[in-house]
Structure formats: structure tokens, C-alpha cells
Structure 1
Amino acid sequence: MKVVVIGGTGLIGSKTVALLRESGHEVVAASPKSGVNTVTGEGLAGAMAGAQVVIDVSDPPLFDRSIVLYFFETSGRNLVAAETAAGVRHHVTLSIVGTDSVPDQSYYRAKVAQEKLVEASGIPYTIIRSTQFLEFLGAIADASTDGTMVRIAPSLLQPIAADDVAAIVTEVALDNPRNGIVEIAGPERAEFNEIIARYLKAVGDPRNVVKDPEARYFGGRLQEKSLVPLSEARLGRLNLEEWLRRSHKNPGHAPAVASTPRAAAPTISKPKQ
């Protein structure tokens, strides 16, 4: 089976590509580096030729409010057109748990727009909404730092490892389309501030975590359950401690993480206002 992975060189994309190839599938790891740009449309027709499944785990290169929305809407329309022409039988989009629960977060609003394009496309689809990745706890702490303090809202969090995300994305993509949403999360649920504090302690980071109900999450105001599944979800295997152990993130060796949860992104220019 031919599978195209949009954003196939990013954190989740590269892991998904590897799993699919291990299973014997023909895989296109689509990215600007491979000559496939979903914003301009460059290379899409060739990549889609003969594809049965398309997995979209892409992200914009910038997280400016207008850029994010422009990226997901433009990329989404181009993908729909190319997949329709190629007769793709299953489109899978990786989205976020809580996209419709944090309305003042511009990235989440853009993901809602992306989901709507997928749902209206006429292509059989599955939307996978994932909780926050364990790999980005360090980036979240950095973005929430005020001096020596890290201000985190006491909302619930159920972070999931990228390896688990890729495994579930692969399994869902090779299954029949749900024409609906599948939610996935890590095996452990706790307060956001507690998880960040445990992470920083484990990597030997001396910053102090403060529980602050007014703290924003990349600009968004959180309610207690904004970032966790509200009903049944598929759970990953790795909790924080096991992920830290497998990742060799020992005390005194804070991991290098991306500044934002993103996959490999294409070149894009900011649209005119």
C-alpha cells in the first residue's frame, strides 16, 4: 500500500514513516525537502499518484496568528484537491485534544478550521486528537517562565509520548476510515503544574513551579479539563517516568526540545493583511 505522510520528516512524521516502512508499505515522506509543498501545491500531484492513504502531521513554520490559520486553510484545500484527483481512500489528520475548548488560543482555532476542511472534503477520513506530547514539557516550561518561577495553571494534563502517538497514528491509518474523531492520551492524568514540576526535577532543572490559575497556555486560558479527553480515549503505554528513563533524560542533563510542538514545515510567506 502506498502511504503519503505530510510532514514526514518531523517528530511524529519520521517515526510514522519508519513504522510504515517496517511493515512493508511504500511510503512518501513528504516535505519541502523532498519537493512537496502543501502551501504552494508544488509536488503534490506526483506524491499522491497511486496513494491509498494520506497522513497529515504537518505544522506551519511560524506561529503568528495569521500565519497559522493561513497555513492550515491553504494546505488543507490543496491536500483535498490533490487527494480527490488521486482517489485517496483514507485521509488521517493529527489534531489536538481540546481544540474547541480553548477558543482564545489562535493555534487551536486554526486546527478547528483544518478539521472542518477534512470533514467537508468528501474523502473518507479519521481525525486523531492527541494530548500534549511529553517531548514538549521543557518547551512549555520555558514559555511559562517568569524569572526563576514557572507559572502553570492547575488544569489537568495527560501527556503522551511521541512514540505512542506514531504507533497509534500508523494503526489508525491502516484501518478503515472512522469518518469521525479518535482521541488519544498518555496513561497518566495529573495537574499540569505537578507534571511540569516532576519533569523539571527529573532533569535537574532548579526552577520553581508555581500553581497559578491565571497562567495562560500559549495565550489561551485553561479550564480544568481543557486539555484532556472528556470521554473514552486510546491510551499510550509510556508515563512520564518511563519516558524519561527511555529517553536517557538524567538529572543535570536537560533535554533539547523544540520551542513549540511542531513537525517539519514548508516555506511560507505571511499573507497580506
Structure 2
Amino acid sequence: MAKSKILIIGATGRLGYHLTKASLEFSHPTFALVRESAFSDPNKAQKIQSLSDSGATILKGSLQDEASLVEAVRQVDVVICAVSAKQILDQKLLIQVIKQAGSIKRFIPSEFGSDPDKVRISVLDAGYNFYKHKVEIRRLVEAEGIPYTCISCNFFMSLLIPSLVQPGLKVPPRDKVTIFGDGNTKAVFVKESDVAAFTINAVDDPRTSCKVLYLRPPGNVYSINELVDLWETKIGKKLQKSYVSEEELLKNIKETTFPDNFEKLFIYSAFVLGDQTYFDIDPRSGVEGTELYPDVKYTTISEVLDTLV
């Protein structure tokens, strides 16, 4: 079967770049929609050149420019959006263009985190709208009858693992560590390049059509207590532990302004409430990526911590 032609929106972003590279590596004809301003940004311009050299077709445009969206969408079979959380609602015009085109076989909206339909932490949406806007876009896609796959990859490996879930730190602690809640609730981490590999595997797979692709790789589902135990084994040393209760953590979050509290917001959601792991995957609406694609080689938390010893 011929490989679908894929359009990546947000290709100069951290995840978007990996998605574009993965699309090329999987031999898909690949298009990247890039803002005009990106060409004058040295870092983004370098990424654009790298993608172009690798075989991507670079298109100029944006989510606000309907003409550029129409031109880009008509050239492809699959559209993947990987814009930042601040731009989530900007996908509305894109959805309208996809609906009018009527030729897109799969749309992957910009979710790439915890499943917004499963998150129970209302404090996260108190002025931040991390999940409210994602839910709004998902409902719109469903209402328009557009074939979709949503990617629930939970945390990127780069978010909390380098600090061993210690807000404000850049590297894992060597002497003392803070445990949030009882430390037994599990969260999920996936490296951005691995998220991209699973996503590209899903674009032509009928098993992922109109479903959520959850990523819960064995070896990447850990509680804080388990992370600390693993780190202690690697450095050959026990850490002094202190505990912050759910009530204390929530009080601290509410007393701190965004974005200074964002790490604690996500810690509360995942490691206290268990928003990433409290539910079983319903086969009627979701599938698990490592079960569908056992040949995808992914990086484990243990391997990442090995680089930090």
C-alpha cells in the first residue's frame, strides 16, 4: 500500500520536528507548514533547512491563514498538528478546511499529553485551560465526522525525569528528595522521538481510526517511590526523604502564580490524583501503542537516568 502523504503543522517545535523526521524516516511524502517568521529565527531556520535537506517539502503558512491551509491540505492524505498549548483553539480554522476538503484520511490534533477526557484536576483549568481547550477541539473533530486519532502520550521524558520529580531542579538530587502524596501513584513518561515514532506508525492503521492511541510503555510507568528507589540503586546511596501531603501541595499551587507552579500542577495531576493511570483503556475508544507496535524501540526511564548518574 502506498504511504500516505503527511502534513505536519508545528514542524519547528520540539515535538513537531521529531514528527517530521519520523515521517521522513518511515518514507512518507512529508510536508511541513511553517510560519514566515520562522525563517528569520536562527534556531528554527536551521531546523527548516535540516528537514528540507532530508526530503521534506516546506510550505509557508499558518493556522490563521486560510489560503495557505487550503493549499497545504489539498496536497496530503494525513494532517498532524503539533502546535503549543497556547495555540490549541487555533486549530478550528484547520478543522473547517479539512472538513471542506473532504479528502483527509486521518487528522491528528494537537493533544500529545494526558487524555483531556480523563483528567480530573479542575485546578489545572483554573485560568490555564490546559485540557478544556483540547476537549473542545476533540468534540469539534468528532462533530464534523473527520477521521481522527488522538495521541495520549502522557508526560514527555524531558519534563520531570531529569529532576527526579523535584520542582526547580535541573538534575536528580544526591542527598535529599521530596515525595509528593504517598509516593505510590504512577505516572507515564515517553521520549519525544518515541512519541513521534508511535504516531507515524498509527497514521495508516485502521485499528487507530477514531480512537485514542495511549502510550504506556513497560519500563516507563513509575511512581515517585519507584523512581527514587531506582535512582538510589544507580548512585549507590540512600536519599533523605521528606513528604508533602496532597493538601500542602494543593495549597502551594494555589498560592503560586503560573508559570512558576506548572511543575507542581502536573505533579499533583499525575502523581497524586493519578490522572494518567487510574483508568483501564476501553477497547471501544482506545488502543495501547506498545501493544499495537511491539517493534518500536523506545527509551526507558532507566536508560535516561543512566545518562544522569
TM-score, scaled relative to structure 2: 0.64
Q: Where does structure 2 lack aligned partners over 5 or more consecutive residues?
A: 39-58, 170-175, 251-262, 282-287, 291-295
Helix, strand or coil at the partner of 1:4:
strand
- C-alpha distance in structure 2 between counterparts of 1:201 and 1:108, whole Å: 36
Aligned to 1:35: 60
Q: State the match for 1:234 in structure 2.
A: 289
Deviation at 1:126, TM superposition (A): 1.1
Give the residue type in structure 2 aligned to 1:133: F
When structure 1 is superposed on structure 2, of 218-227 and 75-84 the one drifting more is: 218-227
Deviations 1:24-50 (A, max 9, x none): 322112232353221454621222122
Q: CA RMSD in A?
A: 3.3
The structure with the largest helix share of the pair is: 2
Q: Distance in 1 between matches of 2:233 and 2:69?
A: 45
Q: Structure 1: which amino acid aligns with 2:78?
A: V
Counterpart CA distance in 1 for 2:229 and 2:65 is 42
Alpha-carbon contact 1:96-1:131 (below 8 Å) kept: yes
SS at structure 2 position matched to 1:95: coil
Residue 106 (structure 2) aligns with? 90
Q: Summarize the Cα distance change of 1:150–1:80 in structure 2 as closer, same or farther, 3 Å threshold.
A: same
Q: Which has the higher contact order (CA 8 A, sep 6+)?
A: 1
* Mapped contact 2:216–2:289 kept (Cα < 8 A): yes
The equivalent position to 2:140 in structure 1, one of 117, 134, 151, is: 117
Q: Paired residue for 2:49? A: none
Residue of structure 1 aligned with 2:308, choices 240, 244, 250: 250
Corresponding residue pairs, total: 235
Q: Tell me, yes or no, if the aligned pair for 2:166 and 2:177 is still in contact at 8 Å.
A: no
1:134 counterpart letter in structure 2: M
Alpha-carbon offset, residue 51 of structure 1: 1.1
Closer/same/farther in 2, CA of residues 42 and 142 from structure 1, 3 Å limit: farther
Aligned partner (choices 62, 72, 78) of residue 53 of structure 1: 78
- The answer to whether the 8 Å contact 1:6/1:30 transfers is yes
Contact 1:127 1:182 in 2 (8 A): yes
- Whether the 8 Å CA contact 1:16–1:166 is kept in 2: the answer is yes
User: Secondary structure at 1:15's aligned position in 2?
Assistant: helix
Partner Cα distance (1:7, 1:18) in 2: 12
Specify every segment of 5 or more residues in structure 1 that has no aligned partner in the other structure, as ranges: 61-67, 252-273
- Residues 55, 173 of structure 1: 8 Å contact kept: no
Please, which of 104, 117, 122 is the counterpart of residue 103 of structure 1? 122
Compared CA separation, residues 228 and 84, structure 1 to 2 (3 A):
same
- The correspondence of residues 1-273 of structure 1 with structure 2, limited to 5 A, is 1-32=4-35, 33=38, 35-41=60-66, 43-60=68-85, 68=86, 71-73=87-89, 75-86=90-101, 87-93=103-109, 94-99=111-116, 100-101=118-119, 102-106=121-125, 107-137=130-160, 138=162, 141=165, 143=167, 152-153=180-181, 154=183, 155-176=185-206, 178-188=209-219, 189-192=221-224, 194-195=226-227, 210-214=242-246, 215-216=249-250, 218-219=264-265, 221-222=268-269, 223-228=272-277, 230-232=279-281, 233-235=288-290, 237-245=298-306, 249-251=307-309
Q: Which amino acid aligns with 2:265?
A: G
Off by >6 Å, runs of 4+ in structure 1 = 199-203
Quote how far apart the aligned CAs of 1:142 are. 6.3
Contact conserved, 2:92 with 2:137, CA < 8 A, in 1? Answer: no
Q: Is the 8 A contact 1:131 1:228 kept in 2?
A: no
Q: Percent identity?
A: 18
Q: CA contact under 8 A between 2:76 and 2:104: conserved in structure 1? A: yes
**Partners of 1:40 and 1:218 in 2: CA distance:** 36
